[in-house]
Amino acid sequence: MKSSGRKRIGVHVGTAGGTWTAVERAVAAGANTFQIFSSSPRQWRAAAVKPEDAKKMLELRAKHDVGPVSVHASYLINLCSQTESVRENSVGAFRGEVERAMALGAEYLVLHPGSWKGLTREEGLRLAAESIVKAVDGIDFSQTAAPGKEFRILIENTAGAEFSLGGKLEQVAELVERLKPCAPVGVCLDTCHVHVAGYDLVSTDGYVETMMVVGDTVGFEAVKVWHCNDAKAAMGSKLDRHEHIGEGTIGAEVFRKLLHDERFAHAAFIAETPVDAPGDEARNVGVLRTLGAG
């Protein structure tokens, strides 16, 4: 796939009818990057990727210059749970997520590390790292459906709810550091999560200070994807409620700054905004595209 040099702006899309159909949905929405689930995000069991689906997806991506592709891991996965059976199920499910993402030729697999309720923060961090290491044991990360493409597991920051690993950017950075020896890793930052976790993106000084924290913790280069979501809730509320771009408590100007921030020129910007009416995917991509123009 040859890059057109355009900003990579996209949206989370469905895969009904086959995973390859996600490319067509993304293109129809005006996107040149996208995110999908590789299976139901609310079920443990998942079917393997059909080789013909992966082949068609790669062909369509090349035809339309679409990428990178991000797969979002199941919401059921909790790799730092205090309950051993939950962790074991999560390890197996996460391994399946890695295998499916690689089989599809996706560049990224986004993961919420989980909740350490009932444990200490340090115990939760240790269990998350150990569980991920166990899940990827023996996987050859060079063997993807798209030779020459770089595959990475991206640790996503969370909204800061109590016991949720990743609410602080320092926690994301610590987990990434622990994983570097065993897996290709990076970071996904979510604007709504950053905002409701208490980091100021909105004020001029706050944006500067928050970006200093990003640079000092996870590092700018490690951020491969920004989930671009406005927020229904207030800064610091810890409520993860996404809103259409420019219609929430973050506001359009933050996304304009982010899209023009040269420190993230390498990143993909993918909306996970609500779909309240037909055409909402295209509407939010269009707003981001307009804000990123020039």
| Mutual angle of helices 21-28 and 51-64, in 10-degree steps | 30
pLDDT of residue 6: 83
Assigned domain for 125 exists: yes
18-53 per-position pLDDT tens digit:
999 999 999 999 999 999 999 988 888 899 999 999
Assigned domain for 158 exists: yes
Which band of pLDDT confidence, cut at 50, 70 and 90, is reported for residue 160?
very high
Of these residues, 8, 112, 152, 283, which one is catalytic?
A: 112
Assigned domain for 3 exists: no
CATH number at residue 79: 3.20.20.150
Read off φ and ψ for residue 223, nearest 5 degrees. -80, 100
Is 64 catalytic? The answer is no
Is 276 catalytic? The answer is no
Is 227 catalytic? The answer is yes
Task: Evaluate if residue 217 carries a pLDDT over 80.
Answer: yes
pLDDT of residue 5: 58
Mean pLDDT computed over every residue of the chain: 95
Is 200 catalytic? The answer is no
Assigned domain for 97 exists: yes
Assigned domain for 1 exists: no
Number of domains the chain is built from: 1
| Mutual angle of helices 121-136 and 169-179, in 10-degree steps | 40
Assigned domain for 2 exists: no
Assigned domain for 153 exists: yes
pLDDT of residue 224: 98
pLDDT of residue 28: 98
Of these residues, 100, 193, 283, 289, which one is catalytic?
A: 193
Give me the residue label for tokens 């996987």.
139
Task: Evaluate if residue 282 carries a pLDDT over 60.
Answer: yes
Of these residues, 25, 87, 152, 227, which one is catalytic?
A: 227
Residues 6+ apart with CB under 8 A from 130: none
123-139 per-position pLDDT tens digit:
999 999 999 999 999 99
Assigned domain for 174 exists: yes
Query: What pTM does this model have?
Result: 0.96
Q: Which domain holds residue 226?
A: 8-291
Give CA–CA dist 134/154, Å, rounded: 17
pLDDT of residue 232: 98
